[in-house]
Amino acid sequence: MLASAEMSGPKFHLVTYGCQMNKNDSERIAGLLSGLGFSETATDDDADLVLLNTCSVRQTAEDRVYGKMKEFAELKARRPEVIVAVTGCMAGRDTDGAIRERLAPVDLFFPTPEMVKLPRWIAELRPDLVNSADLAEDYFKIAPLRVPSAQAFVSIQTGCNKFCTYCVVPYARGLEKNRPAADVLQEIRELAAHGVVEVTLLGQTVNSYRSSDPEVFSSENPYRETRRGGDVFWNDFAALLWEVNQMPGIERIHWTAPHPNSMTDKVIDALNLPKQVNYLHLPVQAGSNATLFRMNRKYTREKYMEVIEKVKAARPGIALGTDIIVGFPGETEQDFEDTVSLYREADFDISYTAQYSPRSGTLGFKLYEDDVPREEKKRRWERLQRMMEGITLRKNQAFVGKTVSVLADRCDGAWASGNTQEMKLCRFRCADPSIVGTIVPIQVTQALEWQLVGEREMRS
């Protein structure tokens, strides 16, 4: 469902922190509230309901929420009737109530899947605000309310079974739960009908997707599940990608974030489907086997690099991104050097590098002392950052003089911008706002560290 013009009646203000999955969850919250007669407002000044959709991946993300409590206490003092709610990963992982105790001004505190109970809770607190207290059975059944755009996120999975020792996701979101393929495909068909040309499939380990209804996959689908004896050979994620590739109107398909252990030969082969973007984001987290073992990543450096080589062989020239954590407990200088050397060997285009942050409730918090000093974490982060900037610039310079395909997503004054097939930001001269949402050829004239600059290629 796409957002429409603001209506009169109760209003909500929604603030989202964190990943693309949280953003998609917020679209579902907005869709639920819209169905109750609410409209969205840009500030909390005139809101009847204020919600924070939170992230717990780093302590800094939680500190932002704690920092809002004074502001909310003042809001409640001025307007005691306002409902203040906190959802997302902070609520999901609060097993002992310690987080809730620090959020005194908050009226509602609930994990993401319990958003289905919002109609009842609002009716109990402010019956004047709602037109129905009916509950959905599954929050994935709630239609997201999206701002009109040519791009959309589609969650196909939530939760995780991997239990990496640094990660709160299995506690905050629960174990892995996959949506039926029929629901995913129907959502994407509706998006295409509303002008969406690029979809990003989301999951905590998106390529481990398992469909409860594989019978919906076409008989022509080369990746559909095969059975041999009593064993099932699962190819559901590759099969889903093939089905999305057949949809009229969808021009680009991206997915994040896969797990190296689920990068099967079929998934790697699916990187060559015609609508697949020329980019793969494959988190490694560390280049040291000792660190990977403590992280419970369940693969070795050698196994990860074997996957990378298969990917490069299947799709030469593909751009690669990754996630890295520096300063994990027990990480020695040699362990860090192993990460540096893996980065060079994989030749990533980009890395999202984080300094390790202990998360209460995780196995890492229970098992390991946070023994790498903060300044050392910062030094290691800065070294990787400088190395990445040099490699990224080199890779971007290779595009100068070439024509790239750009999905324009904004136009400000004389300039428009969007991502290439390699998910690199590209700016080009264009003062026509109607270009937004279209895919245009751009000849690259300049390469910077974080963007390409070019001129629109006019075709006769």
Compute, in degrees rounded to 10, the torsion defined by CA atoms 182, 187, 190, 196. Answer: -130
State the CATH number of the domain containing residue 340: 3.80.30.20
Q: pLDDT class for 229, splitting at 50, 70, 90?
A: very low
CA-to-CA dists, residue 203 to 159, 167, 175, 408, angstroms: 8, 15, 12, 25
Q: Residue 409 has what pLDDT?
A: 96
Question: Are both 419 and 383 inside the same structural domain?
Answer: no
Among residues 349, 381, 397, which one ends one of the domains? Answer: 397
Q: 349 and 409: one domain?
A: no
pLDDT of residue 135: 80
- What digits encode the pLDDT tens for the residues 59-111? 889 999 999 999 999 999 999 999 999 999 999 999 899 999 999 999 999 99
Is 2 inside any structural domain? no
Q: Which tens digit of pLDDT belongs to each residue from 241-284?
A: 999 999 999 999 999 999 999 999 999 999 999 999 999 999 99
| Domain co-membership, 15 together with 105 | yes
Structural domain includes residue 98: yes
pLDDT at 225: 74
**154 and 25 part of one domain:** no
Q: Which domain holds residue 435?
A: 403-456
pLDDT in the model for residue 3: 61
- Same structural domain, 336 and 435: no
Task: Say if 133 falls within a structural domain.
Answer: yes
Q: Which helix (H) or strand (E) holds 320?
A: strand 319-326
- Structural domain contains residue 245: yes
Residue 4 lies in a domain: no
Domain count across the chain: 3
CATH number, domain with residue 84: 3.40.50.2300
Three-state secondary structure call for residue 418? strand
Q: In this structure, is residue 3 part of a structural domain?
A: no
Strands 151-155 and 198-202, by their bridges, are: parallel
Q: Give which of 22, 62, 59, 93 is closest to 355, Cα–Cα.
A: 59
Residues 308 and 227 both lie in one domain:
yes
Residues 279 and 303 in one domain: yes
428 and 450, same domain (yes or no): yes
Residues 321 and 175 in one domain: yes
Q: Is the same domain home to 152 and 298?
A: yes
